[in-house]
Structure formats: structure tokens, C-alpha cells
Amino acid sequence: MILVLNSLAWFTLTAALLDDLFTRLNLPNGEILVLFGLYYAGIAVSALFGALLFPRSRENSLLSWMLFGTIMTAVLATFQGNSYPVNVLLCGLLGLSTGMGLPSTLAYFGDTTAVENRGTYGGITWIAVGIGTLALFFIVGLVDPSMQFVALAVWRATGIILFFIFVKLRGKLQMSNSVSSYRNILNKRDVTLYLLPWIMFSLINFAESPILKSV
């Protein structure tokens, strides 16, 4: 729950602060489109590779991923509106630091919960993510804009410490290292029946954000 809450709240707030940063710097719309495109492309590509690599040593990989995300979030405090090549590099690396561990974060949640209780735990965790993200949004909003990414990096670092402590207290979790191919997964009918409504939900959820922003 700590891992999912910390990761999803961090991901949501990072994207929101990035959008706010671009607005404050008065970047051209075309440049913003390229930067966000690189950011989300980095998330997508790194998620595919992370899903294949992380199961080999999931807990250590997740800790390294969270550390990478902490560093990249703090580095965003140096983001400048007049250095386009550097900004391109930062957005690409931020995307990589975001997407690489997200699949394994959800897989870890599945590995550590009994299947008959997973829906209940998932609901509780999703409530915590919503409330936690809202609370974090208000806390970060109280900080000077130049330090907001640093505050978010502190949130991420706190997640590393707590996750590390609980892993050490509980001991090594035995998980399967076998990874199915994407073709085998997508050929399963139940996976398709899950993906279609989830994609529809995600599109609607993110498409309504700019509408709500203007209300």
C-alpha cells in the first residue's frame, strides 16, 4: 500500500507540476507538446522494458527505481525556459524514471495480497491514493514554486525509506521470476476484456482534466 500510494501520488503530482511549470515559463505550445510527448513516450517505453527486467529482482529494482525518480524530481527544480535541449533531456529522463517501475509496483501489490482479498485491499489503497494525492497537492501548494519539485522529491524519498524498512522487517518475498511474452498475454480473452474498459476509463479520466481546469 505504501509503495502504490507513494508512486501513484508522485506520478500524478509530477505531471501536474510539470504542466504548471511550462505555463509559468511561457513556453510555446509546440515546445510544450514536444516535451510532454517525450515525457509520456518515455513512460510508455520504459514501462515495457521495466515489466521484463524488474521481476528478476523486484524489490531491489523497485528501490533503485524510486531513487532514480527522487533524483530526477529534484533535478526538475533546475528546469529553465531558455535551454530547450536540456529540457528535452530532462523530460525524457523523467519519463524513464516514471514508467520503468509502475508495472512492477502493481505486480508487487498482487504478489503480496491474497487473491480473495485483493479487491478489498485494492479499494482501500485506491481511496488512500485519492486522499493522499489531494493532501500532498495542498502541502506542495504551500511551498514556493521554485521548491515544489524538491518537496515532491522528499515525498518520494520518504517512500523509499518506508518501503525499505518494511521489506527488511518482513523479509525476502518469494515471487515468480517467470515473465510471459506480450503476445501470449494479449491473446488471452480475459485480459482483453479487462484492458478495454480500463483504457476507456483512463482516457475519460485524463481527458476531463483540462475541462475541470477551466471550470
Specify the range with the lowest mean pLDDT, choosing from 56-70, 130-144, 169-183. Answer: 169-183
pTM of the model as a whole: 0.84
- Using 50, 70 and 90 to split pLDDT, how confident is the model at 177? low
Cell matching residue 60: 531491489
- Using 50, 70 and 90 to split pLDDT, how confident is the model at 189? confident
- Using 50, 70 and 90 to split pLDDT, how confident is the model at 176? low
Q: What is the pLDDT of residues 6-61, one digit of tens each?
A: 999 999 999 989 988 888 888 888 888 999 999 999 999 999 888 888 877 888 89
pLDDT of residue 121: 93
Helix (H, G, I), strand (E, B) or coil at 80: coil
One-character DSSP codes across 17-32: HHHHHHHHTT--HHHH
Residue 179 has pLDDT above 70, yes or no: no
- Using 50, 70 and 90 to split pLDDT, how confident is the model at 172? low
Q: What is the pLDDT of residues 134-164, one digit of tens each?
A: 999 999 989 888 899 999 999 999 999 999 9
CA angle 64, 151, 210 (to 5 degrees): 95
- Report, in this order, helix, strand and coil percent for the chain, each rounded to 5: 85, 0, 15
pLDDT of residue 47: 92
Task: Give the residue with greater pLDDT, 47 vs 173.
Answer: 47
501548494: which residue's cell? 141
CA angle 167, 125, 150 (to 5 degrees): 70
DSSP character at residue 175: -
One-character DSSP codes across 38-74: HHHHHHHHHHHHHHHHGGGGHHHHHHHHHHHHHHHHH
